[in-house]
Amino acid sequence: MIRINIFQLERRRMGLANRAAIPVFLLPFMNPVLRLKLSVMMFLQFFIWGSWYVTAPNYLGMIGFTDADFGWTYSVGPIAGMISPFFVGMVADRFFPAQVVLAVMHLLGGVFMYIASGMMVAETPSPSLINWVFLAHMLCYFPTLALTNTIAMKNISDTEKYFPSIRVLGTIGWIVAGVFLSMRGWSDKVSMFHLTAGASVALGVISFLLPNTPPDKGEKPSVKEILGLDALVLLKERAYLIFMVCSLLICIPLSFYYQIASRVVALIDPTEVGFLQAVQKGLLLTDVIGATMSFGQMSEIFFMLVMPIFFKRLGVKWMLAVGMLAWVIRYALFAFGAPPEIFWMVFVGILLHGICYDFFFVTGQIYTDKVAPRAIRGQAQGMLVLFTLGLGMLIGAQIAGQVKAHYTPTVEELGEMAADPAELERLTGLLGEETATRVIADWKIISSGQEIPEEDAARIARSELRSVDWNGLWMVAAVSSLAVLVLFVALFPARPPMREPIDETPLEGTTPATYPESAS
């Protein structure tokens, strides 16, 4: 029986799968300088992404971004994700050393993010123009996700032994970024984008110090191979077609999490929650938004570690189904926890991110690896990413923006709500009389169009969030996820046909807790 783990998948995507393994007793200890360089590279790679991607709406919403604008803010990543494989395959893998391409991409990405941050503080910021610059940044950033894996794997004597402890620094980088934002109070400030730009430039400079990683001298991939056209043959298999369709569909509600969840966290007052108060004091946090969202990545690490235990008992179908069920539960928790601002419900929803991502996406990648013929496994993995984190997330970002707009009152509607005694009564039942009265007063300020003092901006922004119909919004995501789950369970076979069986036991000496984050 063939043993499989996620690092074999990465090796396959990098073209390293067929290289002969070196016996462990012949392996030297890894050069500590090389380990340090690769660890710093991986840490900063995901620190850059985590320092703005989840918390951006909390600031951008205050400078005029509408829900439709956010739809495009979170569409540029999937667009870049669909384009970047062509760049990597046609340019980076053919002509230039990987570390040089990585350096140039990050330097350009840092410049673009700095330009975007400058546009944000203009007298009249243009969301459309800022989103175009975000696209330029992401077009530079997304190719580097593959490049960092290439550099690490081609310079490590045994990827399965050494890569996990290096790759996990990426997850830690994302977590540290969120905590750092909260420590500095930047989760709703333009400074988060300055931090992103600075980290990107820093990695660009450091990349020139990375080990030389020249292009492979072997046969270069054809355009057909880069496009992954050979992998389309897998869609003729009914089970895999059902899996691919459901994977695309489930990524639509997934976009709601990245695009909107931090706004729910912004509703929570840390002074009213003992747990948050303790964390805030212990880590000297100025706010709790970034730090709270980072618990989603922490749970990824935990659930990746325990995946083999569940995999052995559940198998492919029910691992995928449990992942989708976690989506349903998470959004239901948000739907019922956000309006009355019940922290534990929101927090558990965030912690479920580990199951949502690991059980579905990583299982899906393992399943794809066992279904595809050996010659096209790399293409098959690329096709899966294209359909899910590319096309699915792109559609989801647009729909999430429209749904958020539908459940958010306009300025005129907000004025009517402020004058409605029933709204005061509803808010009083949820939040208490004092808070409800203050929220109504803030709604009147917003609807009147009067200038908002800077010292009151954060409080009034929070009051505006309380006007959103969070229950209706998150129920759309929950019901959509449930529909996909029912479709999948009804149509996907209990024992899908595979070319090779799966032994869910990880290879000795490895840990699976290091696959790339969901966005993360």
Helix (H, G, I), strand (E, B) or coil at 102: helix
User: Which residue ranges make up each domain of the chain?
Assistant: 6-15+31-408+468-491, 411-465
**Residue 3 in tokens:** 């043993």
Determine the pLDDT at residue 290: 84
List Cβ neighbours of 185 (8 Å cut-off, separation of 6 or more): 286, 287
Query: Is CATH 2.115.10.20 the right assignment for the domain spanning 6-15+31-408+468-491?
Result: no
- Say whether pTM exceeds 0.85: no
Q: Where are the alpha helices (DSSP H) in 449-469?
A: 454-465
Distance CA 47, CA 40 (A): 10
Q: Are the CB atoms for 79 and 395 separated by under 8 Å?
A: no
Determine the pLDDT at residue 322: 94
Rounded (10°) angle between helices 159-184 and 289-337: 80
Structural Rg of the chain based on CA atoms: 23
Determine the pLDDT at residue 507: 36
Determine the pLDDT at residue 240: 93
Per-residue pLDDT tens digits of the chain, which is 520 residues long:
334 454 455 555 544 444 444 443 344 567 888 989 999 999 999 999 999 998 999 899 889 899 999 999 999 999 998 887 776 656 665 678 889 999 999 999 999 999 999 999 998 999 999 999 999 999 999 888 888 888 887 888 766 677 777 888 888 999 999 999 988 989 889 999 999 999 999 999 999 999 998 876 666 666 666 666 778 888 999 999 999 999 999 999 999 998 999 888 888 765 566 666 676 677 677 777 888 888 888 888 888 888 888 888 888 899 999 999 999 999 999 999 988 888 889 999 999 998 888 888 888 888 887 888 877 877 787 788 888 888 999 999 999 999 999 999 998 999 999 998 998 888 888 888 888 899 999 899 888 887 777 777 778 888 888 899 999 999 999 999 999 999 999 999 988 877 666 554 443 333 333 333 444 4
Q: Are the CB atoms for 472 and 407 separated by under 8 Å?
A: yes
